[in-house]
Structure 1
Amino acid sequence: MRTPTSPVISTATQEEVRSGVLGRHLRQFNYSFVGEYPESQPVWLNAKDANGELVGGLRAYVFLYWLRIDSLWVAEAARGQKLGTRLLAEAEERARNLGAHSAALETFEWQARGFYMKQGYEEYGRINDYVKGFYLASMKKKL
């Protein structure tokens, strides 16, 4: 008679990650609670100057009808020209077209909390002392 053994935990290979099998298992589990929904959809934007140099960009995705913003960056020389506002507005518009009803993000105290507040985001939580005495703010917005 075989005795059950404990599962072995190991680092996933690039091939295993690319296959998407883990995500498919999780989606099947989630469907039993919220019904079927589209797979995660990327929202990736770049802003380049006349020389083709990257001066800003945004990386986000739409999942479960929320736009989740991972990164928004504008080069020092391009700041103050509303580039961040334009990138964020474009991402929000693309997210709405993908069915998103809201947006969420996290930003450190020294980053862009004030900028996001001006764009209509509200802070709904924070983790104090996340790093070296600075907080991490969690923010959201209805699209």
Structure 2
Amino acid sequence: MNATDTTGFEIVEDAAPEFEAVGAIQRGLHEFNQAMGGPYDREPVTLLVQDSDGQTYGGLLGLTFWGWLFIDWLWLSQDLRGKGYGAELLRRAEAIARERGCTNAYTDTFSFQAPGFWQRNGYVEFGRLDGMPAGHARVWFRKALQTDRA
């Protein structure tokens, strides 16, 4: 396409798009995806690690859809790492996912963000993008969620 295109459409660069423009893209893709893959049944999974004053020191943000748990963010303040909070966050998120009928979980992380943590918790690497960022890698992990259903 170029400036003399006769279709009436043009490609515009927008460093700060309006909410409606972003929403149009998101809605369009969600509608297409659901037409192809079925309803998402998207539900958030939010677990927080807080002190008695309600101050947040970490947590897990994810969502369930299409029978999968996607863990988007898992973070703990430095002084809480290595004390079992991360594993407990995963355990609880996976329990929520099972209750919602999910049979698998996945996430992505970076090679400098403790991929061994995911492996110790039963996740298996299934993809890697070396050089992202330079000298490191982006790594994808998955885990089959066992159910107690007969």
Which category of TM-score, normalised to the shorter sequence, fits these structures? 0.7 to 0.9
Q: SS of 2:112's equivalent?
A: coil
- 1:35 pairs, out of 38, 44, 47, with 38
- Alpha-carbon deviations, 1:5-34, whole Å to 9, x = none? 1245455422555xx554443343234433
Q: Which has the higher strand share?
A: 1
The residue correspondences of 1:1-40 to structure 2 (distance < 5 A) are 4-9=7-12, 10=14, 12-15=17-20, 17=22, 22-38=25-41, 40=42
> Distance between the aligned counterparts of 2:121 and 2:134, measured in 1?
27
Q: SS of 2:33's equivalent?
A: helix
- Alpha-carbon deviations, 1:102-139, whole Å to 9, x = none? 11111111112101101100001111111121011110
> Distance between the aligned counterparts of 1:74 and 1:96, measured in 2?
24
After superposition, the Cα gap between the structure-2 partners of 1:101 and 1:23, relative to the gap in structure 1 and judged at 3 Å, is farther
Q: TM-score, normalised by structure 1?
A: 0.82
Equivalent position of 1:103 in the other structure: 105
Number of aligned residues: 138
Give the aligned residue type for 2:84: K
**Which shows bigger deviation, 42-51 or 133-142?**
42-51
**Which shows bigger deviation, 81-90 or 94-103?**
94-103
Give, in angstroms, the shift of residue 98 of structure 1. Answer: 2.2
Gaps of 5+ in 1: none
The residue correspondences of 1:1-143 to structure 2 (distance < 5 A) are 4-9=7-12, 10=14, 12-15=17-20, 17=22, 22-38=25-41, 40-143=42-145
Percent identical residues:
36
Gaps of 5+ in 2: 1-5, 146-150
Post-superposition, which runs of at least 4 consecutive aligned residues in structure 1 deviate over 6 A?
none
